[in-house]
Every structure is written in structure tokens, then in C-alpha cells.
Amino acid sequence: MPPRPNSTQFSSGDAIADRRADYGRMLAEGGDHAAAAELMEQALDIVPGWAAGWFRLGDYRDKAALPTAADAYRRTLALQPDDLFGARLRLALLGDEEIPNQPPSRYVESLFDDYADRFDAALVEKLAYSVPGKLAALVASHAPFGCVVDLGCGTGLFGAEIRGRAGRLEGFDLSANMLSKAQAKQLYDHLGQADLSRPADRSGLFSENLLQHRADLVSAADVLMYLGSLETVFPLVLDLLAPSGLFAFSVEDLGEGEGFTLRDSLRYAHSEAYLRALLGRFGLDVVEATKSVIRMDAGKPIEGILFLSRRSA
């Protein structure tokens, strides 16, 4: 499961309501989600404007298979329009809204700001996360690279793999806390904050010192599963890539389906056909596409696809 927004967001500011919510959380951890929902309803009678409480109520109702889960998620959205908690994604999984092309930026940013302190240990040690090493192996025969741009660099896991083969290494991420962790590793020549889902917001990627068409390699290791539609990403990659530059990235494999879909994990899965069509449309030739297990989730292997493509001459 994905990390949740910072737990401090889950305080109502009222001691009695918090106590009932805590009892509800303990019941939920024990598997009694219906009883947990009742206690959250009591807490929300005291603090009806508590957005995080309504989100938690929606989660308990959903897990208890109660038909009123969507009502709680809609109330969360009404109270928190920037959708910090990802309520719209939950509504899409319930079938009450269309699957959004992109998740809310505020949700993704908060998700990884909270996750930064435990990101490396959680993914590498607990979830057998292997994309950085596999993606580095995929591009190894094309090294060295004059300039590598690591999109969604996170804490720098791919940066550590590619640093020795990059003359210059730049990293960009939406989460300031993840960038702080990457900065501490002293791997990157430049780090910047950027939202890949917003094509108009490129200030972090194209500042005064950062020219277009500078990258011999653009990477996106385990980033695109948090974006859904990739229509905003490929034009950005083309702006970054030098002539004949490489674009290496990973996705969760949708299998025989078409396009992309939202999974219960709140990550998106993409089909190989969708990616090949996009690559062709944006003038990127497929050099290699490899299917592989990329991590574990809830004890089950997650199948992914690693792509290496080249900008057409």
C-alpha cells in the first residue's frame, strides 16, 4: 500500500474526538472496520469540519463494504478541495467518478514528503525494490553520459546507480523532503523541485542556468505510475533530450489491457501497447523493453516493464 499523508493531519484538535478516533483506529487494525466506522462517526459529530476524519471514515466504510463510503470521501473533498488525501482516487476505485488522468499534485507531494524519512528502508529492505539497479543495467552499454536528468529522483536511488557514469547529474522531484534526502547524499550537481503533471510549470527544469536539449539520458525510475496519462511527460522529455538522447523509464505492467488504469494501491498501471504508441508518436524509438518484477506489495510481486528508448535523429 502507498504511504498515507502525515499522521499529524489526522488530529481533530478536540481531545474527546481524537480519543474516539484512536479507539476506532485500534478496532480497524484488529479488522473490525464496521465498528471503527461507528466510532469515527461519533468523533465527527463533535468535529464535523475535520477533513482527515471524513477521509478515515470513508476508508473504514470502504473496508467494511458499507455503501456510504463514497459520501464520506465526497465530504472530505468538500472540506479539502486540494485533495490532500486522494479522496477523488478512492471515489474512482468505488466507481463513483471517472479514473482521473492525473492524481492531485498536492496528494502526491504530501505522500512523499511524509514517506521521505523511511523511503529507502521501506522500498529496498522491505519491498525488494529493484528498479534503480535494473534501469542502470539497461543503460550501462550506452554509458558514459555527458548529462543525466533524473525525473522524480526521490532520495537518489537511481542517482547512486548512475553517478559514476554521468559527467553531470541533475535531479528533480515534487517532494521537498525527498529532495532534501537526495541532497544529503551529495550525488547530484543540481537538484530542483518540479511537478511533472503540469506542463506549464517547468520553472524548476528550465531556469536561467538549465538549457533545453541538454540530456544524453533522461530517467524516470518508478515515477510514471504516479501520473496516469503520460501526455504531459513526453513533451517535457523531448525538451530535455539532446539529439539521439536516451529515455529510460519504468511502469507497472497492465498486461493485456489497453491504456492505463488505477489500481487499489492508488498507483497507475500502463499497457505496453499504450507506451509503444506514445513513444512512436513523440519520435522515440524503442531500443529495449524488458518485463520484470519491480517490487513486492502486500506480499505479492508487482510486474513492471522497463523501457529504453532513443530520440529519433
303 beta partners: 293
Domain ranges, ordered by start, for the chain: 7-98, 115-311
pLDDT (0 to 100) of residue 13: 86
What φ, ψ does residue 230 adopt, rounded to 5°? -105, 15
* pLDDT tens digits, 248-293: 999 999 988 789 999 999 999 999 999 999 999 999 999 999 999 9
- Does residue 149 contact residue 213 with C-beta atoms inside 8 Å? no
* pLDDT for 3 beyond 60: no
pLDDT (0 to 100) of residue 201: 63
Pick the CATH number of 115-311 from 3.90.1150.10, 3.30.420.40, 3.40.50.720, 3.40.50.150: 3.40.50.150
- Does residue 36 contact residue 27 with C-beta atoms inside 8 Å? yes
DSSP states along the chain: -PPPS-GGGG--S-HHHHHHHHHHHHHHHTT-HHHHHHHHHHHHHH-TT-HHHHHHHHHHHHHTT-TTHHHHHHHHHHH-TT-TT-HHHHHHHHTSSPPPSS--HHHHHHHHHHHGGGHHIIIIIIS---HHHHHHHHHGGG--EEEEEEET-TTTHHHHHHGGGEEEEEEEES-HHHHHHHHHTT--SEEEE--TT-TT--TTTS-TT--SS-EEEEEETT-GGGTS--TTHHHHHHHHEEEEEEEEEEEEE-TT--SEEE-TTS-EEE-HHHHHHHHHHTTEEEEEEEEEEEEEETTEEEEEEEEEEEE--
Confidence of residue 9 (pLDDT cuts 50, 70, 90): low
* pLDDT tens digits, 165-174: 999 999 999 9
* pLDDT tens digits, 93-131: 999 999 999 899 999 998 898 878 887 777 766 777 889
Mean pLDDT of the chain: 91
Topology alike, domains 7-98 and 115-311: no
Q: Is 256 exposed, middle or buried (0-12, 13-18, 19+ CB in 10 A)?
A: exposed
pLDDT (0 to 100) of residue 232: 87
pLDDT (0 to 100) of residue 202: 66
Confidence of residue 7 (pLDDT cuts 50, 70, 90): very low
Residues in the chain: 313
Cell of 189: 550537481
- Candidates 94, 103, 19, 98; CA nearest to 53 is 19
* pLDDT for 6 beyond 50: no
pLDDT (0 to 100) of residue 64: 96
How far apart CA 50 and CA 159 sit, in angstroms, is 40
- Candidates 187, 188, 189, 192; CA nearest to 207 is 192
- Does residue 182 contact residue 155 with C-beta atoms inside 8 Å? yes
* pLDDT for 143 beyond 70: yes
Cell of 158: 537511481
Cell of 133: 539497479
Rounded to an integer, the average pLDDT of 51-57 is: 95
* pLDDT tens digits, 207-264: 777 888 999 999 999 999 999 999 989 999 999 999 999 999 999 999 887 899 999 9
The topology under which CATH files domain 7-98 is 1.25.40
